[in-house]
């Protein structure tokens, strides 16, 4: 077998691990897919004749691609927590007890990772989650092993100082507010709805990604409440979900997904609602189960 075919074979053999690295580095399955596609293109073009450890080389290539993507986010001031581009997880919480997913720690970890600098994130993910030696990580970052160890240590302190349990309870409390929102909307109670909404609430509805005019905004509690009552669909099934740590609802009619709504809740009132109605993106949503 020539080295080119061997590299391709190694890529397929290690694809799942590489995808896991990309997912934790980037916090988004869509971005991870892009990183994997770029890795594949480099494998196809690369001359691996002088590479003894092709598996290690693949990890390095994937990590560098992810690092560049993270740095690009910072440069263009992109919002990595755009909730409508997050992964969707079914929420099996018991809302009456305000208890959320048993695996919400993984969601909390992703949220904390988003606050780290790109180099800190790479050092922590590769060392602490994938047991990669510091000297190999240092080569990717073009820093000394000691400096790389310090980056991972700093990232570890930030993560350990986060409180996943508090985040879990808070998400459960938010679910109660979201459930009350839909109960009031379906009951046609304008006053009850307005009481759940911040006066300066913004609702963003996103249609087709290739059509900027398909994104609309509604401002103000009373305006949003009126719209919620007007467009309430009693026949729709509402699946409680978690999107990037925020309470959401995936609405379906029959087998068709009609909307994904993600709620920002502060001080027990809803301050922002993001709604995805693009049929293509709704169809392609990956809905996971954290049970």
Reported as a pLDDT band with limits 50, 70 and 90, residue 233 is confident
The reported pLDDT for the residue numbered 149 is 95
Tell me what pLDDT residue 283 has.
84
SS (H, E, C) the chain: CCHHHHHHHHHHHCHHHHHHHHHHHHCCHHHHHHHHHHHHHHHHHCCCCCCCCHHHHHHHHHHHHHHHHHHHHHHCCCCCCCHHHCCEEECCCEHHHCECCCCHHHHHHHHHHCCCCHHHHHHHHHHHHCCCCHHHHHHHHCCCHHHHHHHHHHHHHHHHHCCHHHHHHHHHHHHHHHHHHHHHHHHCCHHHHHHCEEEEEEEEEECCCCCHHHCEEEECHHHHHHHHHHCCCCCCEEEEEEECCEEEEEEEECCEEEEEEEEEEECCEEEEEEEECCHHHHHHCCEEECC
Q: Residue 101's pLDDT band (boundaries 50, 70, 90)? A: very low
Which pLDDT value is given to residue 234?
83
What's the mean pLDDT in 169-194? 85
4 pLDDT above the threshold of 50: yes
Spans of all domains in the chain: 3-80+103-162, 165-289
Q: Tell me the range of 72-76, 229-233, 241-245 where mean pLDDT is highest.
A: 229-233
Q: What pLDDT, on a 0 to 100 scale, did the predictor assign at position 84?
A: 66
pLDDT at 85: 62
Is pLDDT above 50 for 236?
Answer: yes
Question: pLDDT band at 102, cuts 50/70/90?
Answer: very low
| Per-residue confidence (pLDDT) for residue 78, from 0 to 100 | 44
pLDDT at 83: 59
The confidence score (pLDDT) of residue 9 equals: 82
Q: Which residue has the higher pLDDT, 148 or 156?
A: 148
- Mean pLDDT for 202-212 is 78
Domain boundaries 165-289, corresponding CATH code: 3.10.450.50
Q: Which residues contact 282 (CB under 8 A, 6 or more apart)?
A: 257, 258, 259, 260, 276
Give the pLDDT confidence score for residue 48 in this predicted structure: 73
pLDDT of 109 > 80? The answer is no
Average confidence (pLDDT) over 56-76? 86
CATH placement of domain 3-80+103-162:
1.20.140.160
Q: Residue 77: is its pLDDT beyond 50?
A: no
What confidence score (pLDDT) does residue 290 get? Answer: 43
User: Which comes out higher in pLDDT, residue 108 or 253?
Assistant: 253
Dihedral sign for Cα 277, 283, 289, 290, please. negative
pLDDT at 286 (0 to 100): 67
Q: What angle do CA 160, 34, 211 make, to 5 degrees?
A: 110
């Amino acid at each position: 077998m020539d080295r080119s075919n061997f590299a391709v074979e190694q890529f397929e053999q290690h694809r799942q691990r590489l995808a896991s690295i990309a997912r934790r580095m980037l916090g988004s399955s869509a971005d991870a897919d892009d990183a994997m596609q770029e890795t594949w293109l480099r494998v196809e073009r690369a001359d691996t004749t002088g590479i003894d450890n092709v598996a290690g080389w693949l990890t390095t290539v994937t990590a560098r691609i992810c690092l560049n993507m993270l740095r690009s986010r910072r440069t263009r001031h992109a919002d990595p927590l755009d909730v409508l581009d997050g992964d969707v997880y079914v929420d099996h919480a018991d809302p009456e007890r305000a208890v959320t997913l048993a695996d919400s720690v993984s969601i909390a970890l992703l949220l904390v990772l988003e606050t780290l600098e790109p180099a800190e994130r790479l050092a922590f993910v590769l060392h602490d989650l994938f047991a990669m030696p510091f000297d190999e990580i240092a080569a990717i970052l073009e820093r000394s092993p000691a400096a790389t160890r310090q980056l991972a240590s700093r990232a570890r302190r930030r993560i350990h100082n986060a409180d996943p349990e508090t985040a879990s309870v808070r998400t459960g409390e938010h679910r109660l507010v979201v459930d009350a929102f839909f109960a009031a909307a379906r009951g046609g109670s304008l006053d009850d709805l307005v009481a759940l909404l911040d006066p300066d609430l913004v609702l963003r509805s996103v249609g087709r990604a290739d059509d900027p005019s398909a994104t609309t905004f509604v401002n103000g509690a009373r305006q949003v409440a009126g719209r919620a009552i007007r467009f309430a669909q009693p026949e729709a099934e509402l699946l409680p979900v978690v999107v990037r740590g925020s309470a959401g609802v995936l609405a379906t009619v029959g087998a068709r997904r009609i909307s994904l709504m993600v709620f920002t809740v502060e001080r027990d009132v809803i301050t922002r609602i993001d709604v995805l109605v693009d049929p293509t993106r709704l169809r392609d949503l990956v809905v996971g189960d954290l049970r």
